[in-house]
Amino acid sequence: MNSHASPAVRAAALTVVRGSRTVLDSLDFTVPRGQVTGLLGPSGSGKSTLIRALVGAQAKVSGALDVLGHPAGDPALRDRVGYVTQSPSVYRDLTVSQNLEYFATVIDARASRATRRAAITKALTDVDLTDHADDLVSRLSGGQSSRASLAVALLGNPELLVLDEPTVGLDPVLRRDLWKLFHRLADERGTTLLVSSHVMDEAERCDRLLLLREGRLLADDTPDALRAETQTKTVEEAFLHLVDKAATAS
């Protein structure tokens, strides 16, 4: 990781209005390159909205939001940012391999068949779905379908991978394996990952954290620094401490 590189994401006074509500309220933060940053917050705190803004899929965004040196949603980012939505985004009536074949063609129609096959084999290995390559997605478990979506996002070897609650509904072993994969991608390929979750124990697995509550940023720090600053033992306790502190201040 090059710690001197400009951040992968830079937000200044980022605000999003949905309906009549201000769902993200003047957020300032950066996401460093080559690390796993967790976007943590309770249900409804604005995580998906922030992710949608990052990938250019959210209306009524104001303030500045730069991604890999371009305004969020810029066409130049299309091949550089991988996005995995909360619900699996693969075709249920195709096999895992057929999905990957299809998306590999969409990503680069001019690539040779051998190049595409190599990318597909690597993505299947990354998410540990090689044994299910020929299964129809409709026959996969929830966790396997999520991993199939992740494999699609990995195909283009994105510089920034944005994952919206990728571990929801997974058993503890699969969750642990996915977090290992996230760190491997960051350490070995220098990929920047932004991973949202509402499960606070997952926060402990991140290099850095953005703690969100009711559209406001409560903290932007490492888990160690957060625990030290709040004199707590877990990030969950730190989060609660910060919630109480914010309530007292307002």
Binding site for ligand ATP (CB under 6 A): 18-19, 21, 23, 41, 43-49, 198
Nearer to ligand ATP, 43 or 231 (CB): 43
Q: How far is the CB of 190 from ligand ATP (least distance, A)?
A: 27
Nearer to ligand ATP, 25 or 135 (CB): 25
Q: How far is the CB of 61 from ligand ATP (least distance, A)?
A: 13
Return the C-alpha torsion angle 35, 41, 44, 45, nearest 10: -80
Radius of gyration of the chain (CA): 18
Strands (DSSP E) contained in 68-181 are: 70-71, 81-84, 160-163
Nearer to ligand ATP, 41 or 156 (CB): 41
Measure the CA–CA gap between 218 and 42, rounded to whole angstroms: 12
Contacting residues for 201 by C-beta, under 8 A, at least 6 apart: 234, 235, 236
Tell me the three state secondary structure of residue 239: helix
Q: How far is the CB of 73 from ligand ATP (least distance, A)?
A: 17
Nearer to ligand ATP, 53 or 161 (CB): 53
Q: How far is the CB of 198 from ligand ATP (least distance, A)?
A: 5
